[in-house]
Structure 1
Amino acid sequence: MIGKSYDGSTPWQAAMFGNEHLATIVPISGLIGLMELMWKNGSNEARAPFMHNVVYGSYGLDGDTQDIGNACPDYALGPAAGTGAYVWGGEAVGTYWEERYFLQRVLDNYNGSVYLIQGMHDWNVDPHMAVPTINILKQHGIDAKGLFGQWDHDYPDRPDYHFDRSGEGRGREAYPQMTRFDWMQDLLEWFDYYLKGIGDKPGLWIEIQSNHGEWRIEDHYPPQDMETLTLDLGGALINIGGTTTIFPDASTGPVYETAPFEEGIWIAGLPRLHVDVRTTTIGGQIYALMEDCDDSGQCIHIGHAIMDLRYHEGGSEEQVWIPLLQTINAKMEFFTIDAYVDANHTIRLSLFSTGDDYLPASTSSVVTIQEGTGSTLQLDIIDAADKLWFEPPTCTHSYCTDWVNQTAEST
């Protein structure tokens, strides 16, 4: 069973019932859970309170007498569940969201294989649907393979979409190498083996692309046995913004930057920002933007993270503390990053109350950062010399060749 986006979620839903006749699934930007699509650590995307009912629910309406079939109790609960999750950051209507989490039941019941396809800059279905899901599948003995490129909410072989939907710091640097016309051959071999028993067993690895276009193979993703580079706020990360206060206005907050790196570093997986803070109320939110800045001061996005501080432990349990008096440590995790930061470049970390397509917190608060060893940015680093790199077939579509020629002329 194969599909993309909404149709890419159906394979996960089918797999969770353990049907013996379902031999393999290929989710392309599919959902492991409905709440996971639009919430992260209690923080809401702008579409979160209404998306699944107003948009997805409307698919069942076509103006005939059968529309009444949509008038089920759960459809009526949907708007309340969405609004409640915005206000409280979690379950507000019974077990509405728990019932719509698919991955655990897949792990418990499914005996087939999984070929995961995911865009690392997918704005619609964020890459945390695939990372670390791919490792969890492997840990449970499920045959799993991954293809993770720097495209958006797309198939791997759409050069026109890849170009039109990418931008500076949002995938463009990996174009046109991101376009994988060979993936259909891989898919054919996958289906031949798992559906017909024909040919050799496919390699159960992950093909991952960096933000500058290079492809390599990993056995797991995030990779295993990486070194961790730890940078403390106010120390290795120098405060260049002149403040430690985040105001709930989406634009005011501290900015930190490293010294230029003597050697390039390769960041892979799920970086963390663990930061000590105090708040004026039980609430508040932190949006963290990580950028790669060159020696001229030009910066590009390499990753971001967000957290509703009511969920500062990083799980699904709401926390309480004494505002103004008690320090809490917000254990933030960035969305998946695979990025190379060159020698003589710096990493800049900007902290705001919200960013990208996330709503302001329903419990807005002034947040004060406490610098020092309790507040650190943790980057997992790979050694490029130890990795297996490869070049996929060159994209010869006019979009690809035009861009290559244009960039060659500009340099």
Structure 2
Amino acid sequence: MNDSERTPDHQYVTRRTLLQATAAGTAGLSLSGVASADDDPIDDPLPVEDPPVDFVCDPDNTEHYTEVSAEPTHEFGEEETIELESEQDGKKIQLGVLKPDLEDEETAPVILRATPYVDDLREKSLRDCVRTERLTENYVERGYAVAAVAVRGTGGSGGCMELFGPNEQADVDQAVTSLGEADWSNGNVGIIGRSYDGSTPWMAARMGNPYLSTVVPFSGVPDMHDLLYRRGAPEPRGYAILPGLYYAISLGVHSPATGVGLATYLERLSCPDNYTDGSVWSLYAGATGERDPSGYWTERVLKRGVARNYDGSVLMVHGLQDWNVNPSQVYPWTDELREAGIETHIYFKQFGHHYPDDGRIQETDAYNENWADFLLAWFESELKGRDENVVEDEIDTVDVFDASVHAQHSGGEWYTADEWPPAEASETELFLGTDGNLRATPDPETNEEIVYVDETREYDPTQPSDPEPGCRACATFVSAPFDDEFRFAGGPELTLTVTPTTSGGHLTAYLWAVDEDDEAERLGWGQIDLRYADDSPAAEYPTPGEELDVHLPIEPLDAIVPEGHRLAVVLHQGTTGDRTYSPTPAPVVVETGGETAMALQAWNAAAPRASLDVVGEREDSGSVFSGGQTNRTDLSVAVEQPDDETVLVRETIPEAWTVDEEHGDVAATTPATDGTHVYFGLDDRRSEYDALTHFATAPDDLEESGEYTFGPLAVTTETADPEGDDARPLSDREWTRLEGTERDVIVTAVDI
């Protein structure tokens, strides 16, 4: 979760960073016998050769952020470094505070950032620290104190870095209490931050700190185990990487001169137990997907107690394209917070691991040039108790309280609502058909597809791998084009029946919007290990060869499929979300047709090409045939809606029967998994076919006696010339099957 604000190369944990972290962790283990010291001379900084990154406090930082439009009401006042004694074990908790210049008896609320990404603050200014600069420059002159607390084992704080551990949680809670009780404070504290810093707000919230009035988490992690090992599908970060990385950060590996003294450095070198425990239980969780029996991960679930204890408000900020901290970390948890009576506002936009006013998204629709004003309006209400209308009069910006949801869908449009997904979105289902079609009604037939890891491709778990529609190791289901814009939001879920080939295996699912030129845009994804098919807390190993019911969730999204485009579902076993993978890849058989479906919250329940209403009839020359006998089939097809739509027609001839291509109206044939497909109307495409005839000869081998099925009929609206260079083959087009147009016949063959 090292979330660079200025350098895109640091947005994700790189392999070089991982090597540094591993090396640092190894060094720490080898020096486990070094004793800690009480004295901490600041003139003994840790020498490090690595170049600086953006979490150091450096006056030359050039972070991009928006500025408030309201005129200053105060001047900058006193800045001080406060050192508390931890109530847990007496270790130092270092706080930096920059106050506005207050009149006698005047008080100020506090905006706090609790972070591991800060230097020792005794000779640093919060105005120079990249994670607090945007706060000090915007809000101190508007009457707010801005503070930063270095979580234990980082910056100038003592103790060992715990990666959200219980002592760290208690230290943050103690810092909030100290700020709330200060004689210059009005008693209201808000915590704000992104990534790791967006997770620390939940530490004080879960404890019900009475001084915590609001939290504004950006891409926060309230459940680290769920982020790294959700449904048994681990991230590479989960395999001992994060404990090692943050141990390295605590040693100052990423900073040329953090100001950490020699004594603190030696103390942190003596902290390998934290690193070792985290590494051991990371490996355990990666292998099993479970929370460990030691409680290491359980005590890091920050959600616990929030609904029961917290009495403040929440402004939840998250990018729906954030694959560093997946959106499932906050939704549907937002619903639970609201049900608990916690005022919860949602800000969901189409960005990644960014601030809404991050310079890297400045040229996109997700960028909010009024973000600083938006936050000021929030703080005025939640920390100063000011009337929202007064705030709106003084600040030329949107009223943040006109609705509790501010969101953006994938088409770029901004909207407000009272809930998310908005109430007008209703539950609907799309079904995975046997012919690779995504349809509005269940397919009466069932079939099977197999997904597997394609050994001809390279799979690097640290790199993106998003199989698109049609990949050879995938099961792909594509809708017909939509007559109207199709919009859906929330967390879609696939209900599947699968047959694993081993006692493990996993599935990934991707959603794509596909345009007229077959260009695909990814809308969402999800992944599970089959040991967690029903989201059980413990791994339940499937039995090879036995069917298994699976519920596969898609990460929360707010998506648009434009008019004329198609929606595609791709099942696969590749990596997902740029980083997640599975240690148990093995072929999985997926049942298609029947009730296999994807449930989603959609704005229009209209199915793909919902207006296409087609009826078909058939008449065969008999129901029982002897070997070598010919069946004459007469077909009729009519498009009832829309009136001007023309279609091609497809019939299925059962396997072992021979199609007579010289007689009748057959225009073309292609082999199929269940026999032969014959096509009509290629040269004379119509909306109504009164009499289509084809002839097929029954098998005459005695062993081939039995029941056979003709049909069903199917139609397609695709108009491309099948002979054109860029035309899709007939077998790959989007076919709509006509229910009730099958016919079962009996063959009694004879030896010849």
In the superposition, the TM-score normalised over structure 1's length comes to: 0.84
3-state SS of the aligned residue for 1:244?
strand
Q: Tell me which moved more, 337-346 or 88-97.
A: 88-97
Task: Quote the offset at 1:335 in angstroms.
Answer: 0.6
Match of 1:297 in 2: 518
1:77 and 1:93 in contact (8 A); partners too: no
Counterpart CA distance in 1 for 2:193 and 2:281 is 27
Contact 2:421 2:601 in 1 (8 A): no
Give the corresponding residue for 1:181. Answer: 369
Instruction: Note closer, same or farther for the CA distance 1:375–1:294 as it changes in structure 2 (3 Å cut).
Output: same
The whole-number CA distance in structure 2 between the counterparts of 1:296 and 1:65 is 64
Q: Deviations over 1:287-327 (max 9, x none)?
A: 11110001111111011110111000024332243220x21
Partner of 1:100: 300
Match of 2:737 in 1: none
Query: Number of aligned pairs?
Result: 369
Corresponding position of 1:66? 264
Kindly indicate whether the alpha-carbon contact (under 8 Å) linking 1:286 and 1:307 is maintained by their aligned counterparts in 2: yes
CA contact (8 A) 1:119 1:149 kept: yes
2:236 aligned partner, one-letter code: A
Question: Which of 379, 394, 419 is 1:191 aligned to?
Answer: 379
Work out whether 1:330 is the aligned partner of 2:550: yes
State which drifts further: 278-287 or 243-252.
243-252
Q: Does 1:244 align with 2:458?
A: no
How far does residue 93 in structure 1 lie from its aligned partner after superposition?
4.6
Encode CA deviations 1:120-143: one digit per residue, 9 max, x unaligned.
Answer: 111211111222222221111011
The answer to whether residue 445 in structure 2 is matched with residue 257 in structure 1 is no
Pairwise CA distance, 1:223: 3.3
Alignment-derived partner of residue 331 in structure 2 = 131
Structure having the higher helix fraction is 1
Instruction: Give the distance between the partners of 1:279 and 1:273, measured in 2 at CA.
Output: 17
Identity across matched positions, percent: 29
> SS of the counterpart of 1:6?
coil
The answer for the alignment partner of 1:387 in structure 2 is none
Q: 1:219 aligned to 2:400?
A: no
Question: Distance in 2 between the 1:3 and 1:238 partners?
Answer: 44
TM-score, normalising length: structure 2:
0.47
> Displacement, 1:146?
1.3
**What residue ranges of structure 1 are gaps of 5+ in the alignment?**
164-174, 385-411
Q: Per the alignment, do residues 156 and 106 of structure 1 end up closer, same or farther by CA in structure 2, a change over 3 Å counting?
A: same
* Greater relative contact order (CA < 8 Å, ≥ 6 in sequence): 1
Specify whether residues 179 and 55 from structure 1 end up closer, same or farther in structure 2 by C-alpha distance, changes over 3 A only: same
Is structure 2 residue 224 aligned with structure 1 residue 34? yes
Query: Which residue is 2:490 aligned to?
Result: 269
Q: Tell me, what secondary structure is at the counterpart of 1:377?
A: strand
Moved more, 339-348 or 206-215: 339-348
Query: What is the rounded CA distance, in whole Å, between the counterparts of 1:284 and 1:247 in structure 2?
Result: 9
TM-aligned CA deviation for residue 280 of structure 1: 1.3
Q: Deviations over 1:250-303 (max 9, x none)?
A: 672211111112222111111111111001122101011110001111111011
Q: Secondary structure at the match of 2:198?
A: helix
Alignment check: 8 A CA contact 1:314 1:330 kept: no
Alignment partner for residue 508 of structure 2, among 287, 291, 303? 287
Give the whole-Å Cα distance in 1 for the aligned partners of 2:379 and 2:220. Answer: 19
Distance in 1, Cα, partners of 2:497 & 2:242: 35
Contact in 1 for aligned 2:199/2:222 (Cα 8 Å): yes
CA root-mean-square deviation = 2.3
- Decide which moves more: 216-225 or 278-287: 216-225
Q: Distance in 1 between matches of 2:293 and 2:276?
A: 11
Aligned mate of 1:115, from 308, 315, 333: 315
Q: Unpaired runs of 5+ in structure 2?
A: 1-190, 253-259, 390-399, 439-446, 460-466, 468-472, 606-752
CA distance in 2, matches of 1:315, 1:338: 27
Aligned pairs for 1:39-50 within 5 A: 39-50=229-240
- CA distance in structure 2 between the partners assigned to 1:310 and 1:145 by the alignment: 35
Which has more radius of gyration? 2
The code of the aligned residue for 2:313 comes to: S
Asked if structure 1 preserves the Cα contact closer than 8 Å seen for 2:500 and 2:542, the reply is no
Distance in 1 (alpha carbons) for counterparts of 2:247 and 2:277: 12
**Do structure 1's residue 5 and structure 2's residue 5 form an aligned pair?**
no
Q: Displacement, 1:105?
A: 1.7
In structure 1, how many angstroms separate the alpha carbons of the residues matched to 2:514 and 2:435? 16
